[in-house]
């Protein structure tokens, strides 16, 4: 069995002191867990969080929420992989909020994935559909018609375009984050709308089948596919025991130490 991976996406949240306190309390609570844990603070808090995590357990890592794909140059406001690689091991690429709000295209996402790999960073490639796929809903799972969307938010287009030009060896270094856009919380409890575990697993299976077609069954089997979208302490169990899901990408619930640690413990089978 793959070691579960839990990624905390803090998005544009936390003050400097919140970030340091959160990192510190997570550090003190996850050392005994059989899971890899990645904290992705806002760019400006990466360095102070890294300092806070100086003596951290081996299973706790840092990640960035985004990057540009060239090494340096006239790109006001952007951060390069060369800058990031001395601070982080992971980088989130193609999050739906960036695809939606910053018009990131599949080609740009692919440039970023390739550049992350060239720079020794582990890309967390996010893919996800805008609307629930009828074929996998509880009523129609297994029968209905495939969902058609514009290709920017077409799951398979995102997956295959994101991995364009990525070799079989490098593919194993890419983490696929399946995040249905409709399931991502809007930052408050009322808007929580996670996929059900069966749906998420069915789509993860579809993703793995596409990976098998592209890279062969063994490579696809070794790749890590995680679920994200309103994961919390109450529903993590629903996802973590699905055969095709190897972990979780957690947004809102990663900002509360107690809840995030509980999610990590459940993911590690220690809930």
Active-site residues, by number, are: 95, 179
SS3 64: strand
For residues 67 and 220, which CB has a smaller minimum distance to ligand PGA in the complex? 67
For residues 30 and 253, which CB has a smaller minimum distance to ligand PGA in the complex? 253
CA 99 to chain centre: 14
Cβ within 8 Å of residue 207, ≥6 positions away:
127, 155, 159, 176, 178, 225, 244
Provide the token pair at 142. 């297994």
For residues 114 and 254, which CB has a smaller minimum distance to ligand PGA in the complex? 254
For residues 102 and 209, which CB has a smaller minimum distance to ligand PGA in the complex? 102
Residues at the interface with ligand PGA (CB under 6 A): 9, 179, 184-185, 228-231, 249-253
Q: Is the dihedral of CA 218, 220, 223, 229 positive or negative?
A: negative
For residues 10 and 136, which CB has a smaller minimum distance to ligand PGA in the complex? 10
Question: Are the C-beta atoms of residues 240 and 4 closer than 8 Å to each other?
Answer: yes
Question: Are the C-beta atoms of residues 259 and 19 closer than 8 Å to each other?
Answer: no
Rounded Cα–Cα distance for residues 19 and 47 (Å): 11
Selection from 198, 77, 222 nearest residue 132 by Cα: 198
Selection from 159, 170, 89 nearest residue 126 by Cα: 159
Q: Min. distance of Cβ 250 from ligand PGA in angstroms?
A: 5
Helix boundaries (H) for the chain: 16-27, 46-52, 81-84, 96-101, 106-118, 155-162, 168-171, 197-215, 217-222, 236-240, 257-267
């Amino acid at each position: 069995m793959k070691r579960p991976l839990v990624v905390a996406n803090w998005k544009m949240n936390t003050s400097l002191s919140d970030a340091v306190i959160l990192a510190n309390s997570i550090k003190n609570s996850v050392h005994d867990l059989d899971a890899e844990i990645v904290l992705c603070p806002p760019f400006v808090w990466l360095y102070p969080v890294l300092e806070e995590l100086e003596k951290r357990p081996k299973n706790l890592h840092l990640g960035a929420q985004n990057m540009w794909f060239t090494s340096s140059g006239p790109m006001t406001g952007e951060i390069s992989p060369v800058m990031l690689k001395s601070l982080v091991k992971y980088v989130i690429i193609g999050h739906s909020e960036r695809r939606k709000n910053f018009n990131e295209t599949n080609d740009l996402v692919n440039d970023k994935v390739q550049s992350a790999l060239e720079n020794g960073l582990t890309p967390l490639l996010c893919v996800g559909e805008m609307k629930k796929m009828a074929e996998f809903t509880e009523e129609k799972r297994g029968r209905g018609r495939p969902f058609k969307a514009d290709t920017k938010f077409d799951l398979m287009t995102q997956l295959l375009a994101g991995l364009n030009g990525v070799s079989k060896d490098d593919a194993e270094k890419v983490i696929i984050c399946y995040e249905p856009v409709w399931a991502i919380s809007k930052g408050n409890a009322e808007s929580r709308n996670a996929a059900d575990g069966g749906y998420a697993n069915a789509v993860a299976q579809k993703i793995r089948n596409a990976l098998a077609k592209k890279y062969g069954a063994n490579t696809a089997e070794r790749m890590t596919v995680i679920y994200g979208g309103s994961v919390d302490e109450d529903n993590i169990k629903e996802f973590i025991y699905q055969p095709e899901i190897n972990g979780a990408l957690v947004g809102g619930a990663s900002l509360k130490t107690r809840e995030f640690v509980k999610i990590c413990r459940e993911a590690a089978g220690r809930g």
